[in-house]
Amino acid sequence: MKVFIQVNRKKLPYSVNGYVAMAGFSQMGFEIIYFQRLAEVAALMKPADVVVGGIATVRERLSQLGIDSKELNYPQAIQKYLGRKIWLSDMDTINRKPELWPVFVKSVEGKKITGKVIRSTTDLIGLGSSYENPEVICSEVVDFVAEWRAYIRYGRVEGVRPYYGDWHYHYDPKVIEDCLRAYTNQPAGFSLDFGVTKEGKTLLVEVNDGYSLAAYGLSDIRYAKLLAARWAELTNTNDECAFDK
């Protein structure tokens, strides 16, 4: 297994996540090849070779391999941990029905709309146009004062890191454990994002796939192993980082 890491014009990893992955895989002794565009290295790649880069780049490689990379979002098995109503809609419907506001919306697929609360017409600027009407996931608005990401590899929590808000508001570990236990068809590598309300409730925010995740301070080797676990599962190849499994 080799690791292909995307770099920028200065030949540096594309983001801090690239640095973390580079450090982790390097310490485990894997050969690392740097690239700016997939076309530069496509001939060198095998399915087992992990690609670390922007989400569009990683999805492009998975598409080349004929692998579906759709969002995990809100798996049915753990929706009860959301603590709020969710439903599917589209931006045209949200635009013309202010009675639905305030409402949180995010794209079903891709990052056209990464997540935004619609409270007024101003919030609609840039979200869709007359030429496109993206399908969105909607949810009731919850005021999270802190958000935490639990990194999961082979059913184990590798770490929980803060990524938003006030660190004084800590998550309830039992909620995370119960949610993880209920997610019986979970991938080999992914994250469970949780938010904490002012009242102290710990609620599931969303689930993110492990082929492309922000590290948010997770240790480099743990981060690299998580990426490798999910990549091996998606490509149906051997996970060479699973020596501790």
SS3 105: strand
pLDDT score, position 114: 78
**Which two structure tokens, joined as six digits, stand for 219?**
């240790």
Average pLDDT, the chain: 95
Q: Give me the mean pLDDT over the 222-229 stretch.
A: 99
User: How many other CB atoms sit within 10 Å of the CB of residue 116?
Assistant: 15
CA contacts within 13 A on the Cβ side of 35: 23
Q: Is the pLDDT of residue 147 over 90?
A: yes
- For residue range 1-34, list pLDDT tens digits in order: 999 999 999 999 999 999 999 999 999 999 999 9
- For residue range 38-62, list pLDDT tens digits in order: 999 999 999 999 999 999 999 999 9
- For residue range 82-103, list pLDDT tens digits in order: 999 999 999 999 999 999 999 9
